[in-house]
Amino acid sequence: MDLSYTPEETQFRDEVRAFLDEALPQRLSDKVRDGSTLSKAEVEEWQAILSARGWLATHWPREYGGTGWNVVERFIFDVESSRANAPSIIPFGLSMLAPVLIKFGSDAQKERWLPRMLDGEDWWCQGYSEPGAGSDLANVRTTAVRDGDHYVVNGQKTWTTMAQHANMIFCLVRTDSSGKPQEGISFLLVDMTSPGVEVRPIITLDGDHEVNEVFFKDVRVPVENLVGEEGLGWTYAKYLLTYERTTMAGIGASRAALERLREIAQAEQSDGKPLIEDLLFAMRVARADIALKNLETTTMRVVAATAQGGSTGAQSSILKIKGTELRQEISALTRRAVGAYAQPFLPEREGANEAPVGPDYAVAATPTYLNLRKLSIYGGSNEIQKNIMTKAILGL
Amino acid sequence: MDFTLSEDQQSLVDVLARFSRERYGIAKRTAAAGAESGHDVATWAQLAELGVIGMLFSSEVGGYGGNAFDIMAVFETLGHGLVGEPVLPALLAGTVLAAAGSDALDRLIDGSDIAVSAFYEPTSRYDLDRVATTATEQSQDWKIDGAKAVVHHAEAAQTLIVTAREANGTVSVFAVPAAASGVTMRGYVTNDGIRAAEVKLEGVIVPKAAKLGGVALARDAVDAGTLAICAEALGLMTWLKDATLEYLRTRIQFGKPIGNNQVLQHRMADIVVEMEQARSAVINAAAAMDGPADARALALSAAKYTIGTTATMVAEEAIQMHGGIGMTEELGLSHFAKRALMIDHQFGDSDHHLRRYITLSAA
């Protein structure tokens, strides 16, 4: 056994670090570190920097303008970016739709949509969840009915992340309801500027506008926007789930958050000394630290197995469960660390610029904690992950 | 990155697993613990012959393994077979003897001698520096007085490796023949079916050369032993998990296998998640064994804490999911569960190691 990177991998990691050091504006990394919401322009700014370096499409083969990185290189890039508090790449187009297009899309679709992702011309969002299709995703009711050269789409999507910024949405729609729920689902690309598309904000419990409802009323979508074959949308959606998902562990983000927590617990006083010296608090931090070190190695084991040709499959459920629990725990500790200043609610809607109450680092503690409740709910709730493990790993 | 076993490791693991499956078992283990010697002489000889002990030591000192991942592979396999022979004492005593350059190691590796470490005392808890046993230097020899607690396989040993405090306050490590005058033992069987003893040392005279070195020797030995029992726990947990899964598949209640119940399915999934984390913790510790002392101590405490909490959880859950039958002496499960639980009481429990981890992190 050998936990270390090869010389080439180490060199690559150093290259990534040097790039982040030089290219990542501190303005952005400070906001990420403090848990502030980034504006559309700020996200686009960072993605343009990555695109200029050729590092935006980390999942794509070179021929389409991607990095062509292997699983270890992607892993290194993800971890280093998160640890440096770089803004996350908005995954919906680049990491979720693109692999489906590359595998199942027509040449025309690839030629049209992929370059626009790299240039930042399109902002994609994901139209999977519906009011009646959460964990039971196959229960999709939004319909698409063929009418000449168009599909006519009616229905509603929900929890649509960043739909307020998006001009395009990829949707699971029902084109046939005669068979099993998984059959008759199709994968459709919809222009959100089409007549009949309406986006309504959902304000989450942290006061943030991150997710939306998207309504479709007689929206006409050209048939060339159907990906692959009609009725096989479930297969394409599942393809994404079997795709490499070691980022689900979020170890880079957790490591950055834990380091920030230590700084805060050093600054906060408890009983006349730094909070980090309080044994009860230190114990909770140490538990999280140990679990994170374990998870880092668990993730690397999955990465190494994938690099050797294995499929992450159900192993990624383990990473998702543990990774999200851990990030939530660190956010809970951060909320506790700031003490009474966890209470003031200082919304940071665009345009608003109120002076903080209490220490700067305290402002986002509770909203971040609240926001991260989503981690164990989305992407297949942790209970769904355990159902997957029950079948795939336990064979029960 | 490479998380696979080497060819040598894999072949020893295969041979050892086959041996414990086909030629060993709980009946043999239990009988041995009840016997005067406290172990099975034939099994011990066979383990030595298979190369199990040699795998724990480097070729420079007469073995043919000795790196941390060799130790991990051997002890995980021993755990899976619930082997009760004195391999762990051999690792600790041998680590001391190897560091001290003693030629007694040869007889340990070929199985002709048994040596055990006796570091902990009735009131030392898990602290290696809290030594009340004294070593008085005399003109020709040392005189050792004191008591050592829960010494595994002491009655089977020819040699006891003990810590004792000299007049100037420093703690040193001594090799004491078990047959020496003044050595008495009160033997017993542990809750997890291993022979152990309380050892008294009263005016025990050993030659000058019996002093092997400072307390660092004991510390290094305990580090190796800690890694070893963490790995042993991985083997135990794998067995417990598999047995419990099998039970969930075959035990019928209300007309269907109890494994159809989601509440049990998710508890099994939790076990799998935590076991993967525990394996990573042990890998981290093994990888740190040859590194800087601080990093090694930190990784070992992280591992022992993780193993302590996880092995306890797996043992308790395995018993619970088996229901009444899990409470019985007759079922193999209880024996594995008890060993998994008692590992938390060797070389420091999860609280001890969490505290040490905090102290080391702050440094």
Helix (H, G, I), strand (E, B) or coil at B288: helix
A302/B contact by beta carbon, under 8 A: no
Whether A244 is catalytic is yes
Output the six-digit token pair for A340. Answer: 């009474």
Could you tell me if B59 and B129 lie in one domain? no
Could you tell me if B229 and B210 lie in one domain? no
Could you tell me if A252 and A352 lie in one domain? yes
* B265 to A387: CB separation less than 8 angstroms, yes or no: yes
pLDDT digits (tens, 9 = 90+) for A362-371: 999 999 999 9
A326/B contact by beta carbon, under 8 A: no
Q: Give A353's pLDDT tier (boundaries 50, 70, 90).
A: low
| Residue range of the domain that includes B315 | 216-362
Q: Give A245's pLDDT tier (boundaries 50, 70, 90).
A: low
Determine the average pLDDT of the residues in A61-86: 94
Could you tell me if B105 and B185 lie in one domain? no
In terms of CA atoms, which chain A residue is nearest residue B241?
A394
| Residue indicated by tokens 């400072």 | B214
Q: How far is CA A291 from CA A32, A251, A337, A372, B306, in A?
A: 23, 11, 19, 18, 8
Please tell me the predicted confidence (pLDDT) of residue B325. 96
CATH for B28? 1.10.540.10
Does residue B259 belong to any structural domain of this protein? yes
Does residue B2 belong to any structural domain of this protein? no
Nearest 5 degrees, angle CA A65-CA A69-CA A73?
145
Give the nearest partner residue to B69 out of A1, A72, A305, using CB atoms: A1
Could you tell me if B220 and B341 lie in one domain? yes
| Residue range of the domain that includes A175 | 124-231
Does residue A321 belong to any structural domain of this protein? yes
| Number of domains making up chain B | 3
Could you tell me if B183 and B220 lie in one domain? no
Which of B214, B246, B279 is at the close of a domain?
A: B214
- Residue numbers in A near B287 (CB within 8 A): 1, 3
pLDDT digits (tens, 9 = 90+) for A115-134: 999 999 999 999 999 999 98
Identify the DSSP state of A88.
P
pLDDT digits (tens, 9 = 90+) for A300-351: 999 888 888 776 668 889 999 999 999 999 999 999 999 999 999 987 655 5
| Number of domains making up chain A | 3
C-alpha span between A241 and A238 (Å, rounded): 5
C-alpha span between A186 and A175 (Å, rounded): 6
Which of B194, B214, B234 is at the close of a domain?
A: B214
| Residue indicated by tokens 């983000």 | A253
Please tell me the predicted confidence (pLDDT) of residue A7. 96
C-alpha span between B296 and B300 (Å, rounded): 6
Does residue B132 belong to any structural domain of this protein? yes
**Could you tell me if A167 and A193 are in contact, meaning their C-beta atoms sit under 8 angstroms apart?**
yes
C-alpha span between A184 and A130 (Å, rounded): 16
C-alpha span between B131 and B239 (Å, rounded): 37
CATH for A184? 2.40.110.10
- Residue numbers in A near B3 (CB within 8 A): 1, 3, 300-301, 304-305
- Residue numbers in A near B281 (CB within 8 A): 290, 293-294, 297
In terms of CA atoms, which chain A residue is nearest residue B352?
A283
Could you tell me if A226 and A273 lie in one domain? no
C-alpha span between A393 and A378 (Å, rounded): 21
Does residue A296 belong to any structural domain of this protein? yes
**Could you tell me if A344 and A357 are in contact, meaning their C-beta atoms sit under 8 angstroms apart?**
yes
Could you tell me if B105 and B127 lie in one domain? no
A287/B contact by beta carbon, under 8 A: yes
List residues bridging with B256 in a β-sheet: B253
* B248 to A396: CB separation less than 8 angstroms, yes or no: yes
Could you tell me if A251 and A341 lie in one domain? yes
Could you tell me if A384 and A274 lie in one domain? yes
Could you tell me if B227 and B325 lie in one domain? yes
Give the nearest partner residue to B277 out of A72, A295, A386, using CB atoms: A295
Which of B113, B134, B154 is at the close of a domain?
A: B113
Please tell me the predicted confidence (pLDDT) of residue A247. 74
Mutate to test the interface with B, among A135, A294, A302 (most CBs of B within 10 A): A294
Phi, psi for residue A273 in degrees, rounded to 5: -140, 165
Could you tell me if B153 and B262 lie in one domain? no
Could you tell me if B143 and B41 lie in one domain? no
List residues bridging with B164 in a β-sheet: B172
Catalytic: which of A73, A130, A230, A244? Answer: A244
In terms of CA atoms, which chain A residue is nearest residue B1?
A3
Could you tell me if A258 and A328 lie in one domain? yes
Q: How far is CA A65 from CA A52, A86, A227, B245, in A?
A: 11, 22, 20, 47
| Window A:221-280, CB contacts with B under 8 Å | 276-277, 279
Cβ burial of B67 (10 Å; 0-12, 13-18, 19+) is: middle
ipTM topping 0.85? yes
Ordered per-residue pLDDT tens for chain B, 363 residues: 889 999 999 999 999 999 999 999 999 999 998 888 889 999 999 999 999 999 999 999 999 999 999 999 999 999 999 999 999 999 999 999 999 999 899 999 999 999 999 999 999 999 999 999 999 999 999 999 999 999 999 999 999 999 999 999 999 999 999 999 999 999 999 999 999 999 999 999 999 999 999 999 999 999 999 999 999 999 999 999 999 999 999 999 999 999 999 999 999 999 999 999 999 999 999 999 999 999 999 999 999 999 999 999 999 999 999 999 999 999 999 999 999 999 999 999 999 999 999 999 997
Give the nearest partner residue to B277 out of A298, A383, A385, using CB atoms: A298
C-alpha span between B357 and B363 (Å, rounded): 10
In terms of CA atoms, which chain A residue is nearest residue B7?
A1
Question: C-alpha B339: how far from its chain's center?
Answer: 10
| Residue indicated by tokens 């690397």 | A300
CATH for A355? 1.20.140.10
Q: How far is CA B324 from CA A290, B236, B259, in A?
A: 35, 21, 16
**Could you tell me if B190 and B29 are in contact, meaning their C-beta atoms sit under 8 angstroms apart?**
no
